[in-house]
Structure 1
């Protein structure tokens, strides 16, 4: 089977695991770091996924935490994977660091829940729609940059065709499908694409209609990650929220933050049309577009 392992997720999972194991051992960051001849700031950067530790350093930390045998080897294997290059790094000329992190996480998510109030989600865009969106972006791009961005977006979509595709759950505001990105012909083809893919078992698309009377003025994504197989010693739920801006992004991981966005997503789902009604409405919007 095609595996969608990424160094981004491995580095983040490793950071969470090392922090958990230190807490279980009852050690402060300063105490643990001192025992392996480092300072607390070094371990803090590792536990915040700011740096990729060498597997030998991971082995030393595990020894301090009393983790050995198969469990230790499983963690060290993840540390080695975290040092590999991701497929998206060949797009580094047009991919900012803050979005590179997201692409790596998206590539290995088991469930992707997204609410979009302005645009069709990138994972579901047609090539023509994506090109028109980049060409009309508020920050101008050169033609070659647009070409690279479109290629990256299309390559991201291949996760939906993998042997183990993620579950994609989308709530899209009616305004996003009525905004004529690229003109009527491009928009018609894009909406027809949404109708087509919404019939796939792993994809659900719900439309939040104007008639609902309420919405949410910011798009966001909730990513769930699958647990690593035993004997890896990390059984904690792994979920995060991604919110992007024009010049950066927020990665929210605190339980209170994640639960707030999860509750908002559930409310948006409840206010949306069901899958059959969404398909019927989208089909009517596409049919009404004059070409």
Structure 2
């Protein structure tokens, strides 16, 4: 996430000067496409290049040093890089963001979200995916998914709000035994502080036909320039992902999430429903 926030910061600071990306790149002795790749977080800039850009943009002193420190941190490898053999770049970006988020809001209409899956459920989900995987790939993906869940027991555990369409909790991924164990896991997790699970029942008569996640991030400490949004929307697709950052787009998804939460069962009612489903 730090690479993406750095990219947004550099883009907004450049735009405030009225310079095009090609002109700004030329003034720090790089080709025209270099800065464009940095501003979409495709490449990690060297801290010295960041310093040169900040000088060009008129940012100096403690503010500049704060941005340069984030550039240094952005070059560090995350724990998830050990799974680069099965982790596509578009999803590696999400895993990094997830590990830094302070609030995660997740609406799922098809499956239990990865952060709450049991190992057997995750294995069955990967084996049943529309894109076939070799057994060794499945096991690597399961290991990655289990390691992601470490944030739920960490000192900096994010607030997690999950809305599950009833179809997601009824879909017998892996068969009845696997699903029963998965529902039991949801019941156990729902007792955690800072974790809320709601079920959106079929009887609500409403829903949304696409899963999405809203990530909130803690503000970077002063004197980092106040140039970036601290919230974005992640939408998963079969072969990639969408990262929505425009304020209007984020606001639309945030409003949709709250409307879904209002139509869903309360957390206590949701636990009662999950208990009944486990028995069924």
Q: If the TM-score is normalised by the length of the shorter chain, which range does it land in? A: over 0.9
Q: 1:149 and 1:45 mapped to 2: Cα distance?
A: 29
1:24 CA displacement: 3.0
Give unpaired runs (5+ residues) of structure 2.
none
1:235 CA displacement: 5.4
Q: How does 1:234-249 map to 2 (within 5 A)?
A: 234=226, 236-249=228-241
Give unpaired runs (5+ residues) of structure 1.
1-8
Aligned pairs, number: 280
1:88 aligned residue = 80
1:39 CA displacement: 4.0
1:284 aligned residue = 276
* Root mean square deviation, CA, Å: 1.4
Q: 2:233 and 2:45 mapped to 1: Cα distance?
A: 25
Say which of 138, 141, 144 aligns to 1:152: 144
1:190 aligned residue = 182
1:131-161 Cα distance to aligned partner (Å, 9 max, x none)? 1111222222221111111100000000111
Q: 1:41 and 1:87 mapped to 2: Cα distance?
A: 30
Query: Does 2:160 align with 1:168?
Result: yes
Secondary structure at the aligned position of 2:140 is classed as helix
Check whether the contact 1:167–1:203 (CA below 8 A) recurs between aligned residues. yes
Secondary structure at the aligned position of 2:174 is classed as coil
* CA 235–31 in structure 1, closer or farther in 2 if over 3 Å, else same: closer
TM (norm. structure 2) is: 0.95
Check whether the contact 1:116–1:173 (CA below 8 A) recurs between aligned residues. yes
Query: Does 2:127 align with 1:135?
Result: yes
Check whether the contact 2:229–2:245 (CA below 8 A) recurs between aligned residues. no
2:101 aligned residue = 109
TM (norm. structure 1) is: 0.92
* CA 47–235 in structure 1, closer or farther in 2 if over 3 Å, else same: closer
Check whether the contact 1:133–1:182 (CA below 8 A) recurs between aligned residues. yes
Q: How does 1:197-276 map to 2 (within 5 A)?
A: 197-234=189-226, 236-276=228-268
Q: How does 1:55-94 map to 2 (within 5 A)?
A: 55-94=47-86
Query: Does 2:8 align with 1:16?
Result: yes
Say which of 86, 106, 114 aligns to 1:122: 114
1:180 aligned residue = 172
Q: 2:219 and 2:16 mapped to 1: Cα distance?
A: 19
* CA 113–35 in structure 1, closer or farther in 2 if over 3 Å, else same: same
Q: 1:206 and 1:143 mapped to 2: Cα distance?
A: 33
